[in-house]
Amino acid sequence: MTKEAKGVRRRALLAAFPYTIPIFAGFWFLGLAYGMYMNASGFNFWYPMVMSLVVFGGSLEFVMVTILLGPFAPLATFFLALMIQARHVFYGIAMLDKYKGLGWKRFYLYFSLCDETFSLNYMLEPPPGIDRGWFYFFVSLLNHIYWISGSTLGGLLGSLVKFNTEGLEFVMTALFVVIFLEQWSKEKKHYTALIGLFASLVCLVLFGPDSFLLPAMGLILLLLLLFRKPIEKAGGLTLTADERTVDLP
Amino acid sequence: MNLTEQIIIIALCAAATMLTRFLPFLIFSDKKATPKYITYLGKALPAASFAMLIVYSLRNTELSGGTYGLAEALAIMVTCVLYFWKRQMLLPIAGGTITYMLLVQLVF
């Protein structure tokens, strides 16, 4: 490794870190809660640690606690996991352009494409002079590390600690709201955002909190494809990467 | 479930997750041109997905009881106001979260 390459990576890491601070707060809170939940369900810290390393998806990992306590049903588990994680297909489609040409780093970038990492990396452009690939790589890696360390710590501490963090989970909602607004203020027309909001709310009312996600995704796809012509004509799509400017920490 | 079965379950969940994350990348490689409608979806989906994630993270809010979603609504308002005032990321997230924590711990 040459000195110059090290400098490139160091600068990318330092540039990426400030953007991941909200995720650190959210992931340590959720990760601790998840690790403690696993501990209380009779699993030692290896379980949350390994699951956070290889799955890196909070909602599925919480459900897996119940699955691991039940009878061995591999096929049903696989399809349940596919259903819970289906929304990641949207993220993969949205990142095709951004992650193009980033070489081997793409394998890790797609591997670690959870809700929060997708939201951040989609919105962010690396600051001038910072290597694109390494910047997105470090945003993803830092988030991954926060999640693994939080859930491992939760598994180790178990129910030993009790501090009043009630309501801290809202940090994730706030993150999604800010990223939604960031996106909103960069669009000329808001059709796609409103379609997402409308489809999700309708399906939440119709199907309930535990099973609205898949129908909502279906409805979003249907509406987006149905109204493709008017949306494209009205310029209701997000601006391209170089038209975007982000003024963050 | 014994240890082997547990390992199989964890591996399957990891595999299912990876399948959903890698699928578009595997189908639409760099070499051939991406179909027009996929390029369109790539641009149209993010805003819709962010809206979906907000709804998803609030899916268990009680509207017909508890605090009637008031704490969530107020905290989101604070987040929006701070965002449009300062146009940056950390302050609105911190402000909204602290508002929410104070509301659920002290007020409601």
B23-79 confidence digits (pLDDT tens): 999 998 766 778 888 889 888 888 998 899 899 889 888 887 777 899 999 999 999
d(CA B49, CA B57): 12
Residue B42 lies in a domain: no
Residue B54 lies in a domain: no
Reading the block at residue A28, the tokens are: 């340590």
Average pLDDT over residues B88-103: 89
CB contact (8 A) between residue B97 and residue A174: yes
pLDDT at A249: 44
Average pLDDT over residues A159-185: 82
Q: What is the pLDDT of residues A62-81, one digit of tens each?
A: 889 888 998 998 998 998 89
Identify all chain A residues contacting B104, using CB atoms and an 8 Å cutoff: 166-167
Nearest to A228 by CA among B107, B44, B63: B44
Question: Is residue B7 scored above 50 in pLDDT?
Answer: yes
Nearest to A190 by CA among B85, B92, B46, B55: B46
Mean predicted lDDT score pLDDT of chain A: 88
Question: B107: distance to nearest CA of chain A, Å?
Answer: 12
In this complex, which of A77, A183, A217 lies closest to B46 when CB atoms are compared?
A: A183
Opening angle at CA A209, ends A117 and A110, nearest 5: 20
Residue of higher predicted confidence among A240 and A151: A151
In this complex, which of B5, B52, B90 lies closest to A249 when CB atoms are compared?
A: B90
pLDDT at A37: 81
DSSP one-letter code for A242: G
What percentage of chain A has pLDDT greater than the value 70? Answer: 92
Q: Which phi and psi (to 5°) does residue B60 adopt? A: -95, 10
pTM: 0.82
Please count the residue pairs, one from chain A and one from chain B, whose beta carbons lie less than 8 angstroms apart.
Answer: 259
Residue B27 lies in a domain: no
pLDDT at A235: 75
Residue B18 has a CB neighbour count (10 Å cut-off) of 18
Q: What is the pLDDT of residues A132-171, one digit of tens each?
A: 999 999 999 999 999 999 999 999 987 676 666 688 788 8
d(CA B35, CA B31): 12
CB contact (8 A) between residue B40 and residue A228: yes
Q: Which residue has the tokens 């696993």?
A: A38
In A72-131, the residues whose Cβ lies within 8 Å of chain B are: 72, 74, 77-79, 81-82, 85-97, 99-101, 106, 110-111, 113, 115, 118-119, 122
Residue B9 lies in a domain: no
Give the number of domains in chain B.
1
Q: What is the pLDDT of residues A1-37, one digit of tens each?
A: 577 888 999 999 999 999 999 999 889 988 888 898 8
Could you tell me the residue range of the domain that residue B76 belongs to?
Answer: 62-108
pLDDT band at A244 (very low <50, low <70, confident <90, very high): very low
Contact A187, A193 (CB under 8 A): yes
Q: What is the pLDDT of residues A88-104, one digit of tens each?
A: 999 999 999 899 889 99
pLDDT at A233: 85
Residue B73 lies in a domain: yes
Residue B33 lies in a domain: no
pLDDT at A238: 57
Contact A171, B97 (CB under 8 A): yes
